Structure 1
Amino acid sequence: MSSTEPLVITEVQGRVGLITLNRPKALNALSLGMIRGLTAALLAWREDPAVLAVAIRGVNKEGPFGAFCAGGDIRFFHQAALAGNPELEDFFTEEYALNHLIHTYPKPYIAFMDGICMGGGMGISQGASLRVVTERSKLAMPETNIGLFPDVGGGYFLSRCAGHLGEYLGLTGRMLQGREALSAGLADGHIESQRLPKLWDSLGATPFENGEAVQRWVESHLQAQAPAAPWPVDEVNAVFGLGSVSAMVAALGASGSEWAKETLQVLRQRSPLMLHVVLEQIRRARRVGLAEDLRMERDLVRHCFHLRPGAASETVEGVRALAIDKDHAPKWNPARIEDVTPEQVAAFFVSPWPAHAHPLRSLG
């Protein structure tokens, strides 16, 4: 890829707007410029009667498909937080507005979630009218691993998974393979990855009469049957339906199952503070609509970087350990799940803005 190529390629072929995320070295992690490029294209095509539908994919180092989007650019988060760069605020405001635009888009928006699709990648695909996975798909909301929370509407779409699966996925960050995502209700259809290039080309070459026809055409190539869930559904609901994270880890510790042992080990590695915040986030999100959830998440992410600024931020420390120093030894504060106080959690849910000045006040 030459350095002059745009990081987001947008083109209209036939009657379909085609978007290609083109930052393969970073697994198509979203920069502020990419968010702006996506937003501009979607707003233009929303009003354009010549465009019946939109499709989005990512490229990997070998070419089209193979990697969708690894999330937001966490190295930028780290650098911007330490430097006091105001673009960090713009990033989240504009990213969440883009997530809302996708969820409420009036035309079919088809996401080809081939390869890695995590965090911000889920934000630009979960609102799609058709979510397509392959045998290479890897879906996750792994934010508790970096002292963050499942944002980009994660509260909204995780809380709408069956039972208490959303709490399980949000707290642990468990990765789902393509067919597992069908079981979780986070994908609509499966296709072999080798068939994608031909299907993509057909989108631009077929004389569709309306947007529904575009979506039906793609659906006709997909396998929609969801396999049985690979996690113990009853145990997930019993444990992750409990009232607190402390109760959950106690229940996991008391269980003899292999799943409980593995799950407990995972939770013990995550940010204790953010585990408590995420549980509250998902429970609150279950009772509100998308716009209200995104406003809450905008409050939360502001607090992630400002309640304890700079290097003291749980998120800055989590990114440092994972992506900067790569020592995989974050110094979480508090260090234990049992040491987090209700007051520490409650502080995240106080909006730093009055309603009339909220950065996402205009969301429907």
Structure 2
Amino acid sequence: MSEHVITSVNNHIGFITLDRPKALNSLSLEMVRAITASLLQWRDDAQIRAVVIHSSSEKALCAGGDIRFFYDVGTASPKGDSALLEDFFTEEYALNHLIHFYPKPYIAIMNGVVMGGGMGIAQAGQDACVRIVTERTKMAMPEVNIGLFPDVGGGYFLSHTPGQIGTYLGLSGEIIGAADALYAGLADVFIPTTEIPALMALFSNHDTTDWRQAIHNFAAPFATQIDPTQSKLATHRTEIDALFIGDSVPAITERLKASDSTFAQTTVATMEKRSPLLMSVTLEQLRRSANMTVSDCLRMERTMVRHCFKHGEVVEGVRALVVDKDNQPQWSPAHLSEVTRDMVLGFFSPVWPDYAHPLHALAG
């Protein structure tokens, strides 16, 4: 178990509290294992009717994986063949798969920062599950900023957003709030932070077999406080759909540059800071994911992660953002014009470590 994951059971509900506030609940391998162990224990326990995952802090549900750990291990294993990296990502992806197919209501309170791996543990796939946002929610799949791609199932849930919203979010790594999350279908209900204690009291005292409906009923009075149709994504939806079509990142950036809108110019300026190669890999990932199951997406992304560490782009991205903090990553290639089709396709070719791991194959 992990000192940063607190579990309890009350009123037939299993509670998972992430408690690593100084790191914004960034996931360590021990945390992944602790969450997995609790979910597996409760999955077959008839006394547990639902699971709630939340944070001990209002600052973040989870900011993602522990990227400093990725850097330390990645630099120690420049060929990307670290057993620690293999353990972390294989077990994290198995956890994401477990959550997507969890047979009981899975309720994620996405208060504060929810990014990367945090989205992986919040974007449950079953109809009975509920994703809650607040006015503090800061949601993103910002992996292209560190030379990675929107993993942990990001290909699946981003490619299932309306129109080209997922393409925009994946290529830009932009942060969105509650209204945008609701508009994009990445959240289900809005509840103000001030009402979270009342929601927790509901969990402790209410007797129901339909927690999804109970939470929707609880959230109904607050619906007028937020209007997804007036969100940034809704406002720019037509423009996003027109600019982010197709299978070419250079073509997308050219359309953005040709537009005289502030939104387009701001977006292309952001994208010019991202890894050219991983933006191209991300676009290919999203286009493939649109016609894949979540299980197949996770398997594909697991292969892609191995290539990222073998290539070294993610190690350089973390160095620039977190370690040296110079914000001057030396991307390879440095420009979109240098990215070839073969480079992109290489991230989707099979690659396996030199040793066996019991969780290599995700369940179907």
Residue 279 in 1 paired to residue 283 in 2?
yes
Query: Aligned AA for 1:351?
Result: P
* Pairing of 1:36-115 with structure 2 (within 5 A): 36-60=33-57, 65-84=58-77, 85-115=82-112
Superposed displacement of residue 198, structure 1: 2.2
TM-superposed deviation, 1:58: 1.0
Task: Show the counterpart of 2:232.
Answer: 230
1:215 deviation in Å?
Answer: 2.5
Q: How many correspondences in the alignment?
A: 347
| Matching of residue 25 in structure 1 with residue 29 in structure 2 | no
Name the % identity. 50
Name the structure 2 match of 1:252. 256
Q: Which runs of 5+ in 2 are unaligned?
A: none
- TM-score normalized with structure 2 length: 0.92
Partner of 2:53: helix, strand, or coil? strand
Q: CA deviation at 1:164?
A: 1.1
Q: Which runs of 4+ in 1 moved over 6 A?
A: none
Report whether the alignment pairs 1:304 with 2:308. Answer: yes
1:240 aligns with 2:240: no
- Secondary structure in structure 1 of the residue aligned to 2:108: strand
* Superposition pairs of residues 196-235 of structure 1, within 5 angstroms: 196-208=196-208, 210=209, 212=210, 214-223=211-220, 226-231=228-233, 232-235=236-239
Residue by residue over 1:48-79, the C-alpha shift from the partner in whole angstroms, topping out at 9 and shown as x without a partner, is 0000000010122xxxx442100000000000
| Cα contact 1:184–1:229 (8 A) shared by 2 | no
C-alpha separation between the residues in 2 aligned to 1:362 and 1:33? 19
- For 1:76 and 1:275, locate their aligned partners in 2 and report how far apart those are by CA, in whole Å: 23
User: Residues 2 and 30 of structure 2 are in contact (CA less than 8 Å); yes or no, is this contact kept in structure 1?
Assistant: no
Aligned partners of 1:15 and 1:207 also within 8 Å? no
TM-score, with structure 1 as normaliser: 0.92
Distance 1:230 1:244 in 2: 24
Cα offset, 1:197, TM superposition: 1.7
2:247/2:287 contact within 8 Å kept: no
Matched position secondary structure for 1:106: coil
Deviation, 1:353, is: 4.1
Q: Which amino acid aligns with 2:289?
A: A
Query: 1:141·1:173 contact (CA, 8 Å) conserved in 2?
Result: yes
1:181 counterpart residue number: 181
Q: Is the 8 A contact 2:179 2:231 kept in 1?
A: no
* Matched residue type, 2:111: D
Report the CA distance shift for 1:122/1:320 in structure 2 as closer, same or farther (over 3 A): same
Instruction: Assess, with a 3 A threshold, how the Cα gap between structure 1 residues 235 and 360 changes in structure 2: closer, same or farther.
Output: farther
Indicate if the aligned counterparts of 1:135 and 1:192 stay in contact, CA closer than 8 A. yes
Looking at structure 1, the residues matched to 362 and 186 of structure 2 have their Cα atoms a distance apart, in angstroms, of: 27
Aligned residues of 2:132 and 2:190 also touching (Cα < 8 A):
yes
Aligned residue number for residue 160 of structure 1? 160
Contact 2:24 2:63 in 1 (8 A): yes
1:269 aligns with 2:273: yes
- Answer whether contact 1:108 1:215 (CA < 8 A) is retained: yes
| Equivalent-residue separation in structure 2 for 1:348 and 1:281 (angstroms) | 10
Cα contact 2:319–2:325 (8 A) shared by 1: yes
The AA in structure 2 aligned to 1:15 is H
CA distance in 1, matches of 2:59, 2:263: 30
